[in-house]
Each structure stands twice: as C-alpha cells, then as structure tokens.
Structure 1
Amino acid sequence: MSGIMGTYHLDGCPVNRKYLEKMVDVLAHRGPDGADIWVGESVGFAHRLLWTTPESLLEKLPFVDQGDNFAITSDARLDNREELLYKLQVFNLLPDKITDSQIILAAYQKWGEQCPEHLLGDFAFAIWDKQKQILFCARDHFGVKPFYYHHQPGKAFVFASEIKALFCLPQVPRQLNEVRIGDYLALMMEDKAITTYKDILRLPPAHSMVVSQSGIQLWSYWSLDLHREIRLASNEAYAEEFRQIFTEAVRCRLRSAFPVVSHLSGGLDSSAVTCVARDILAETGKTPLHTISSIFDKITECDERPFINAVLEQGGLIPHYVHGDEFGPLSNLDSIFQYEDEALLGPSHFYPWIVNCTAKELGLRISLDGFDGDTTVSHGVARLTELGRQGKWQTLIQEAKAIAPHHNISPYAVFRHYGLPFLRDLVKQWRWIEFARAVQLIHKHFGASRKLLIIYHGIKPIWEQIQRFWKGGHKQRTSSHSSLSETPLVNHHFAERIRLDERIQTLNPPRESPLTLKEEHWRSLNQGILAYTLEQMDQYAAMFSLEARHPFMDKRLIEFCVALPAEQKLYQGWGRMVMRRALAGILPEKIQWRGGKTNMSPNFNDGLLNRDRQILDQVMSHKVKHLEKYINLDFLQAAYQRMISAGNQVSDDDCMAVWQAVSLALWIDYKKVIP
C-alpha cells in the first residue's frame, strides 16, 4: 500500500510543483517511508512510499527510464514476477533487485496498452509516454488498489489513491453527488465509476485508460468467463487443485520484508488463510504469523473464541485480541472521517478500524484477511434452484434435508422456497407425468398433502392461465412496477429528480432467478458493492499505514471456483465443499465442518442502542432534519421509534435505515460538503 498521485495539463501549461507537494502531504499516512515528486513540463507525478515487499526497499518512485521517455508511479504488488521477468528478458539485475514498478514499465514498453492483460496481483498505476504524449492508467482485476480522478476536457486531468488528495488542486470541486447518495439510500451500489462527489470518478476494476489532449479512452482488459468449465477425474482431484491454487494465493500475499498479521475471526475463511499462511511461514523459517481476533465478553452470543482457540491450539501463531463490544459503530466516526472520503459506511466498518489500530500499535504493516471467501468459493445454495429447473427432485429433496440443520430451519421450509416454484413450471409446460411423480416424492419425504399440492401448484396455475387468456392477458404488457416501492427511506421527490427508479432498473434490474448456480456465482462476483467494499478496506488500512491483502480476491482462485461443477460448491448440505475437502488436515475439524457463522447483529444493535445511544439520539433529534431533501423523515422517525422500543427484537430493516441516515448526516456535517 502506497500513495500515488499526479496531474496532466492538457492545455500544455507547466505543472505547479506546490500542488503536488500538497497532495504528498495530505497522503502522508499512506507512505511514511518516503515521498518524491517528478515534474516534466505539463505532467507531474508524486508518490508516498510504504515498504512492504523486499523489493520495495529498493523502490524509488516516481521512476523515470534512462532515456527520459517514460515515467511511472504505482501502488502495486505483482504476483507473477518470475513469469514476467522470463517473458521480458530486459533486466541485467538479479530478480530480487528489480522492483514491481520497473517490471510494470517494462511490460508497457513491450506490450503497450495491452500490458495489464499480462499482470497478476493488486495494482493501480499511471505511466507517462512522452513520445505518444499520453497518460496510460490501469487498475487491478477486482479493484483492491484504488484509483480516483477528475477530468476537465482540454484543461487538466488529475488522479490519486484517495479523493482528499484531488482537493489540493483549486480546480477540483468539492460538491456532493446526489445521485450517489440516492444509490446509497436505495442500497443499490452497482455503479463502479461514480463517487460521493460530483465530477470525481473511479477507474473501474479491470479497466485501462488512456488520457490525451483529445480526451479519455477507457476499456475493460479482462472479464470473468461465465462459460468456462472445469472437469476433473474425482473429488480428490478438485480438492488438490483448489489446495494448490489457494496456497499459492496466500503465498503471494506473504511476500513481505516485515512480519505479517492475519485477522482471525474464527470463521472458515479467516481460519483457512491463517492456517495456510502459518504453515508456509513455518516451512520457510520466517517470523511466525501474528493474529488479531475480536472477542466479546459482554455480548457473548457474538463471541467466537471456541473457534479462534481451535486454530491457536495448533501452534505457530502469535495471538492478539481486541474487545469488539467496547466500541460502538458511532464511537470513532470523527477519527474515521479524517481519512474516509465517502459517506457510504457499512454497518461493520468499526471492526476493521479497531483491528487495524491494534496492528499499527504492534508495529505491523501487512495484514491478511478472509474477505469475501463466501462469494469466491460460493455456498452453492443456488444449486437447489438449478436442481428444481432440471427436475431432479430426488437430489433436490436430499440436499434440502441435508442443508436445513446447518441453518436451523426445517427441511420442508428449504424445499418450499427452492423447489415448489418449479412444480408450476411443469404444469405450464403440460408435463403432467413428471408433475405427478414430483408430487408423490414431496408427499413421501415431507408428508405434504397431495391434494393441496395438486390444487395450489397444478390446478390453480392452469386456471390463472385460462383467466388471463380470456381477459386478453395473452398479449404482452409492459410492467409498471416501480423499484422505488422497495426503497421507502428515499424522499419521493428527490428520487424523481435524480431518476433513481431508472437507475435501479438499469443498473440493478429485476431479474429471474439464475438458470444455474454458475450464473448466480458469476453475478455475485460482478457486483459493484464488491469494488466499493475493497476501496473502503484500503482506506481503513491506509489510516494506519497498513497494506490489506485478500487471498480470496486472487484472480486464479476466483476463475477456478466459478468454473467448478455445482456439486463441488454444494454437496450433501455442505456449502463450499471443495474448500472443506481441500483443507482437511490443515484446518481444525471443528472449523472445517462448521455449518454457519455467528451473527454479529446483536453487537451492532447493542452498540447503537446502548454504547452510542447519546450520539444516536442527538443525531436523530438535531442532524437528520438536514437530510429532508433526501430522506423520507416520517419513515425514518417511525423506524427509529420502533427500533428504540423493540428491546432485543430489533428489526434489521429498521436498524439499517436508521444507520444509513445517521452515518450520512454525521459525514455531511463533518465534511461540510456542498449539497
């Protein structure tokens, strides 16, 4: 994790060095190990250096080639260094004397604007090509490294790792982007380009960009393949392949000149990262892995110590703890808002804040986590939908029975949700024999009434079809459904003004259930919320001069997991089955075969309603009224009253609505943003 920034005067005016100096100062937290500036007439780069990898100790950025034709500033960790060095064959130095930025620049010199297609790892960089008079920029596949920019056509282009650095230039406006506020209040974070500020954009993940005097060209250099399939000989072969890829993903993120810490929560994902990292470090004789875990002495239902201890008891770790129930979600917002540029905080923001604060106090600077292993490997629940579509009723029933105990619900409740809707499909397709067989199976396994199944899922759908036909319903009609009916927190007039309903329909349209588990898996990894969450995690680490590394965000691992057969994701009721098999003997069995995970809502609710109650009441009484143009205050106040009166039965919907409004009100008040 470092800080990059720069400016390109498209009108040919010389760069004023003092503005780059201001940008460097503002991003001091991102790189305490050094800072430098390079100016080349109408282009200027700056850099804040955080030593992380062994090669970074030799890094000097911005870097200019010997011919003075190219300059680069980058925040990067390359995971395929050996492959790239072999392909490039341009260095006369030992590999450990070559920095990642030098490799990226050499890749650009060889492959030009296609160079990101050859890179693997986490990166954001900008290269000035003097001969072509262009600025070439790129960002990694999932958006681990941030890249923000402001463009004034024909005048200037400015970029940085954080938005606050852009405000050092007088031409960059600090004005609220109301469209982004509408998206946030509607819980629709699919736009991968806009930010909370007008005219400040993000380079989307897996995108490259060329900036020249004629404008901006932006394109995607990679996308996740929906159609790739992997077929191996056995369950053991799938597990072995997963273990190799996952181990390599962790190994790459252990490339460090300093001790490493892992966020150990006790869940399957963080435990997997911790155990594999521990074993790799032990094999190489390096400093043992540190761990930091959140524990809960007061809100004991959130405490994961039995699972955390199962990992620690294996040895080879240096444990540390933070008390997750001593802070509330509003407790440290003033400190967070010093660094956090956007208003769109998630309810769990304070966990990484206190964990990273502890890592800083321990003198650590590289942190691993199990971020979004759920999405990468997939619990595979959509396999039930796939089985229903395929008419594989026996297998669907078996999986429903097996998965139910892991989620504390009845097998028939699982089947009713995922299986019964497809009975109607059989009727609509006039497949009555298959319908009758399915009814018999459902009756046999769940004791459901055959008569009621036939009436409600056989006769009723046919009668509805006949009625629609006689009423002219056989003609196509345009749906008049409004997505805004599902977003009651948003002020109706505000929603109409920014055309929020159109945005929701375009960016997050109502769609039928995915035809396959693979399609659902693919969709989940293309959500805009993923990139935004990674950007937030970068800032939470940057506050404390840390670099956050996420093994489950490895391109190779994600491509492998998406391409797996459905039964490797869900099998006999166990989600993420390939991972459970792969880590046998590495994970404690108590975690390897853990069914669910602890719900952290009780701690959040207690923090909001008790530890931070004074702040909550004050904001609701005095500050949220300033959001009247954006929020339906009647709905908000009703949700607030229900929440404070509910005791231990707080509604998640009410809590989320109040949290969105309160955090937004506090952010606007702190930042003094112009609406």
Structure 2
Amino acid sequence: MCGIVGIFDIKGETEFSCDLISRMNETQHHRGPDEGGIHLEAGIGLGHRRLSIIDLSSGQQPLFNEDSSVVVTYNGEIYNFQELSVELKACGHIFKTHSDTEVIVHAWEEWGEACVERFRGMFAFGLWDRNKKVLFLARDRLGIKPLFYALLPNNTVAFSSELKALKTLENLPREIEPKSIEDYFTFGYVPEPRTIYKQVYKLRPGHTLSIKKGGDFPEQIEYWDIPFVPLISSTEESLCKELVERMREAVDIRMVAEVPLGAFLSGGVDSSAIVAMMAGLQDKPVHTCSIGFKEKLFNETAYAKQVSAQYKTDHFEGVVDSDDFNLLNQLVDLYDEPYADSSAIPTYRVCELAKKQVTVALSGDGGDENFGGYRRYRWHMNEEKVRSLMPLTIRKPLFTALGKWYPKADWAPKIFRAKTTFQSLARSSVEGYLHTVSLLTEEQRELLFSDKLKGMLEGYSSMEVFKYHAEKCPSKDPLSLIQYLDMKTYLVGDILTKVDRASMAHSLEVRVPLLDHKFIEWTSRLPATLKLKGQEGKYILKKSLESYMTNDVLYRDKMGFAVPLAKWFRGPLKEKVTESLLNGHIKESGLFNLDFIKNVIEQHQSGKRDYSVIIWTLLMFDTFLEREIDAAV
C-alpha cells in the first residue's frame, strides 16, 4: 500500500519544483515508509511513497513503460496482475519488473481508458501519457483506496491519497462548502464527490478522470456499477455451495504477499468466515488479532478466541480502555476533514496491534452491505410492509402527528422507542431510510444551524445525495435499494475511509475479500429473501457457513466497535464539551445555534437524554475548525 501525489498544469508548461512535490509526498510518509520517488517534467510532477508488499527488490515508483512516455504513481493491489502480464507480453509488451504496478502502464498502452475494466483489486492511480498529453486518474470500483483532487486558481490540478497532501499547497482554496456541513451533520462524514472544501473533490468509486493538456476540466466518468440483476433461479443448497467457493477464491487471490500476512478476527460472522477460508488455504497457522474492551457489554473476544481455537490460529489480543479518548485530536489529523464515527478509536487500536505482527491483514468489511446484515435493514423492511398497505397521502399526516406526540425515550427498551419509526413512516421509502441513518435528523439540523448557515445552504438538503443514487439503482427491490445506497455512501464514506486512514497511520495494508467486485457482482444478484429472511440478516451467508463454525458464533446478535460516549460526556470529558462547544470555534464560526447546543449539553449531562452522538459530531467539527484556524495563522 502506498501514498500518491501529483500536480498538472492543464494549460501550460510550468516547471514544478522538486521541493513542492517532496513536501506533498512527505505528508503521506506513513502510507509508504519503505521508499519514496519523484518524477518531474514540463507541466507535471508526480510523487510516490511505497509500502513494499510484492516484488520488494523492484517496482519502485513512479514507474515507466519501455520508452518512458507513460509513467504512473499508484496505490493499491491488482490481484490478477500475473495473468494480465502474460496477456500483455503476448501482445509484445516488455516487462522490467515482477510488480503489479508495471501492468498498469502496459495496460494503458494496450487498452487506453478501458484498462481499468481489466483490473481486479483495490487501486487509485495517476498516469501521465506524454504522447497523448493526458493525465488519467482512476479509482477502484468500491472505493477501497482514496483519491482526492483540487482545482487550483492557476489552471492546475493537484491530486493525492490524503487531503493533507493538498493542504500543503499555498494556493489551495480552503473555503468551506456549506453543503458539506449539511452532509456531515447528516451522515457523519462528507460523501463523495465532495470534500469539506468547495474546490477539492473525491473521485467517486468506479470512476475515472481523463484531463487533456489544453482542454477544459472534464466530468468524472463511471466505468462500473453494482448490477443487482436477479440470478436465474437456483436451489438454496447450490447457492450456498457456490457462495463458499466464490468467497474462498476471493480470499485466495488476496493471500499473495512477500511480507507477513494475517487477519482481523472480531469473532463476528464476516471476519470468522475470512479466517476459516484462510485456514483452509495454507498449512501454517493464520496470524489473527482482535481488540477487546474492559466492559463486557462491548467485548467479543470470547468468540474470537473460540474461532481461533477451532482453526488453530496464531492469535494476538489487545484490550482498549473504555476511557481511550486521548485520540480525539489525533483523529482529526488522520481524517483531514470532519469525520464523526467514534469507532475510529478502536479501529485505530486494532490496526496498531496488527502491525506488530503483520504488514498485510485481511478484513471482513463489506459483509453487512453485501448480505443485508445491519439491524436497520430489518427495521426498514418492517416499515416497508406498512408503507405498502398505506399510501403516503394517508401515512404522512397520521405518522407525522404520532411522531410529534410520542415522547423521545432513549432510556426505554428499544420496542418502546417508536418516535423515530413514526417519523420514518411519515416519509417515502428513501426519505425514511435517510431519516433512519442520519446522525442528526432533519428537525435537529434545522434547530442546530444558524440563520447564516441556512442562507448559505440555499435550500440544499442531504436528501439530494440519496436521491442521486436511488435514481441510478438498477433494482426496485426495497432491500436491494438500501443496500445500494449504503454501498455508495456509508461503505465508502465511513467504513472504508475509517479503515484506510487507521491502517495507513500504522503502515498496514488491509485487504477486503468480501468487496471483491466479481464476488459483489454475484452476491448483488442473489434473491433479497435469502439475504434477509424473516428477521435473520445475512441468512444465506450464515447458512453456507454452518459447517465452518458453531451456531453461537453464526447466530448471535451483532455487537460492533461501540464506544461509551455517553459516559465520557458526563464524566472525564464534561468540562471539555462545555468549553469547546459553547466558548470555542463552534461559537466563533457563527454557523450554529448556541441555544440549541446549550440545551443538548444540559439535557445530556443531567441524564435526561442521550445526546452523545450529537455532542461527538459537534466536538469533531469544532476540532476541525481549530485546525483550520491554526493553519491560517
């Protein structure tokens, strides 16, 4: 895994300095501590930081074709590079290395922009073709690897793996995008293609950008999407068998490495499945690692130990203190823009633990999105039954009234927390799902935002993000629709972002077999009734794994990486919350309603309400603003 940077003069022949590219490159040293490289020529500069995984003795970047007319800086792994190299050699291309990187330059020569359709893996790269005078940027289909780019005032475009590299540019426009503030307080992250800045963007997953010298700046071009086309009917038994075969193959191609390799093992279904496949594919014990919590409520290590014992893995375990909140400031530095998933803390710790044993770790990420595993999928499908019985013209007034009348009962058992359900039922299917996943509801954002910010938004709502993707979804099945929405937003903007930054902070490569695009092309076509069967999420995955693990691992409730925020904000972080949110940069920005924030803090700290998510989201935004002001001084 690596870090990439580049800068390109679209209209001219600017000679970029080595110092400029080096400065950008070194901000990402953690992504590639083994080697660094720079290429400069008139109008373009490219930089690379390398974490050596394959072909350790060669494969240094930026890397060139035979006559040095094509050069690439690349982050990722292309798992089918060996078969592609055979095909390309047969076409007359000459290889100087045994690395997957070299496949990219020759594939570009042979197939042009369509080369990305041949690659199987995770990748983000910038490629310069001197003869065609084209800078070609590409990102893998699911967005496992990040790619940022910025439009600079002097007809140049800069790109990088992390936003921090672009922040080194003195002429980078850093005006905050109001729409991104609305999106952040809705989702907890800024979804693609926006960033927190107006003139800085993320390349969408499964998209490319081809920028020609002397031309206008182009639109992103999509080269792949999740099909969700139903399979020809087959028996449940045969589908279970095929699922395991396809998953094993996706794991197998990700076990090629010339450095120590292992796996994360939480004790959940997805990570346990990956470990089971790995154990069957190698003779030596699999290196596994897990993070435990001192609170039994959050601790899954007993299940991880059970799977480890079953497959005789070489298991390492760490324990996170429940008051591990000292990473708060560091998280903002890692993510470069507001990011509110508090599970970034234990994710950072498990990557820290894994790096002590391995350089590459396989992960179970993607299982919930693939197979309908989130609890909110069950809630949504139950709501869909009500929606199918009642038109919106009846539902909207009825459930709007019930939503207003019914008290917010954070303290009550979940069965009695009907307020959110009523509010969701008063909306359409897509609007209801957005209400379910929002960190702050539409009503709460209306109370939080100042008149100044509302004016800057000019009527914009985060609903536009979901509407964009809903219109593109190839399936009308209600479960497939929300899976598609999550894969386009939550998976890439939250889960994959979290894992990329946390792993790269420790120079650890994480591979995700369940997000293999060929595997997803197949799983997306499975009947929705085999993913969520009754109230059982991930039904077909669990059914296919019954001979691989015990039922108490397969059919227990999902736990996840929970963090005790509510306790922190009533205890050790109580004073910090009050000082930061009422007297800090949040106040100075003029973007927020301080009366609402004050009420949120008082209600939470008194124990009347659990507003920990709102407080954390505000706290991370305040810390981001502090970094912005410090950078401007």
* TM-score, with structure 2 as normaliser: 0.84
Distance 1:500 1:268 in 2: 45
Matched, 1:242 2:243: yes
**Equivalent residue in structure 1 for 2:443, among 485, 499, 513:** 485
The range that moved more, 132-141 or 608-617, is 608-617
SS of 1:216's equivalent in the other structure is: coil
The residue number in structure 1 matching 2:504 is 542
Change (3 A) 1:630 1:425: closer
The residue number in structure 2 matching 1:616 is 577
Question: 1:309: Cα distance to partner?
Answer: 2.1
Question: 1:137: Cα distance to partner?
Answer: 1.1
Amino acid at match of 2:372: S
Question: 1:275: Cα distance to partner?
Answer: 2.2
Question: 1:500: Cα distance to partner?
Answer: 6.0
**Contact map agreement 2:263 2:362 (CA 8 A) in 1:** yes
Q: Deviations over 1:520-542 (max 9, x none)?
A: 33333222663454233211111
**Contact map agreement 2:107 2:115 (CA 8 A) in 1:** yes
Change (3 A) 1:631 1:280: farther
Amino acid at match of 2:276: C
Matched, 1:375 2:369: yes
Distance 1:505 1:571 in 2: 29
Question: 1:7: Cα distance to partner?
Answer: 1.4
Distance 1:383 1:371 in 2: 17
The residue number in structure 2 matching 1:33 is 34
Change (3 A) 1:610 1:366: farther
Matched, 1:310 2:271: no
Matched, 1:88 2:46: no
The residue number in structure 1 matching 2:288 is 291
Question: 1:4: Cα distance to partner?
Answer: 0.9
Question: 1:111: Cα distance to partner?
Answer: 0.8
Amino acid at match of 2:299: D
5 Å-filtered alignment, 1:244-393, equals 244-282=245-283, 285=284, 288-297=285-294, 299-328=295-324, 330-360=325-355, 362-379=356-373
Distance 1:385 1:326 in 2: 29
Distance 2:385 2:205 in 1: 36
Q: Deviations over 1:292-342 (max 9, x none)?
A: 222223x221121331222122143122222223443x3212333343311
Q: Deviations over 1:87-136 (max 9, x none)?
A: 32348899995211111111111111111111111001111111111111
Distance 1:529 1:374 in 2: 10
* TM-score, with structure 1 as normaliser: 0.79
Change (3 A) 1:427 1:153: closer
**Contact map agreement 2:231 2:527 (CA 8 A) in 1:** yes
Amino acid at match of 1:294: I
Distance 1:496 1:167 in 2: 27
Question: 1:602: Cα distance to partner?
Answer: 6.4
Q: Deviations over 1:3-25 (max 9, x none)?
A: 11111123212221221121222
Question: 1:668: Cα distance to partner?
Answer: 1.8
Amino acid at match of 1:317: T
Q: Deviations over 1:404-456 (max 9, x none)?
A: xxxxxxxxxx6xx454444446999xxxxxxxxxxxxxxxxxxxxxxxxxxxx
Q: Deviations over 1:51-89 (max 9, x none)?
A: 12x335421110122212111111121122244234323
Amino acid at match of 2:222: S
The residue number in structure 2 matching 1:466 is none
Question: 1:377: Cα distance to partner?
Answer: 1.5
| Cα root mean square deviation, aligned | 3.2
Question: 1:247: Cα distance to partner?
Answer: 1.3
**Contact map agreement 2:367 2:373 (CA 8 A) in 1:** no
Question: 1:242: Cα distance to partner?
Answer: 0.9
Matched, 1:592 2:592: no
SS of 1:101's equivalent in the other structure is: helix
The residue number in structure 1 matching 2:590 is 629
5 Å-filtered alignment, 1:209-228, equals 209-212=209-212, 213-217=214-218, 218-226=220-228, 228=229
Amino acid at match of 2:626: D
Structure 2 unaligned blocks of 5 or more: 395-440
**Contact map agreement 1:182 1:490 (CA 8 A) in 2:** no
Tell me how many residue pairs correspond in the alignment.
Answer: 579
The residue number in structure 2 matching 1:470 is none
The residue number in structure 1 matching 2:602 is 641
Distance 2:292 2:265 in 1: 11
SS of 1:525's equivalent in the other structure is: helix
Change (3 A) 1:155 1:541: same
**Contact map agreement 2:346 2:561 (CA 8 A) in 1:** no
SS of 1:58's equivalent in the other structure is: coil
Distance 1:150 1:5 in 2: 11
**Contact map agreement 2:369 2:487 (CA 8 A) in 1:** yes
Change (3 A) 1:600 1:142: closer
Q: Deviations over 1:320-370 (max 9, x none)?
A: 222223443x3212333343311223121101111122223x152212222
SS of 1:497's equivalent in the other structure is: helix
The residue number in structure 2 matching 1:578 is 540
Q: Deviations over 1:176-234 (max 9, x none)?
A: 333312321233757411112231111111111111221222211111123x1113531
**Contact map agreement 1:192 1:531 (CA 8 A) in 2:** yes
Question: 1:644: Cα distance to partner?
Answer: 1.5
**Contact map agreement 1:182 1:495 (CA 8 A) in 2:** no
Structure 1 unaligned blocks of 5 or more: 389-413, 429-482
Q: Which of structures 1 and 2 has the bigger CA Rg?
A: 1
Amino acid at match of 1:87: E
Change (3 A) 1:633 1:621: closer
Distance 1:645 1:354 in 2: 31
Distance 2:345 2:156 in 1: 37
Question: 1:261: Cα distance to partner?
Answer: 3.2
**Contact map agreement 2:343 2:563 (CA 8 A) in 1:** no
Q: Deviations over 1:428-487 (max 9, x none)?
A: 9xxxxxxxxxxxxxxxxxxxxxxxxxxxxxxxxxxxxxxxxxxxxxxxxxxxxxx84352
**Contact map agreement 1:229 1:564 (CA 8 A) in 2:** yes
Amino acid at match of 2:443: S
5 Å-filtered alignment, 1:140-155, equals 140-152=140-152, 155=155
Distance 2:560 2:74 in 1: 39
Question: 1:508: Cα distance to partner?
Answer: 3.2
**Equivalent residue in structure 1 for 2:620, among 647, 655, 663:** 663
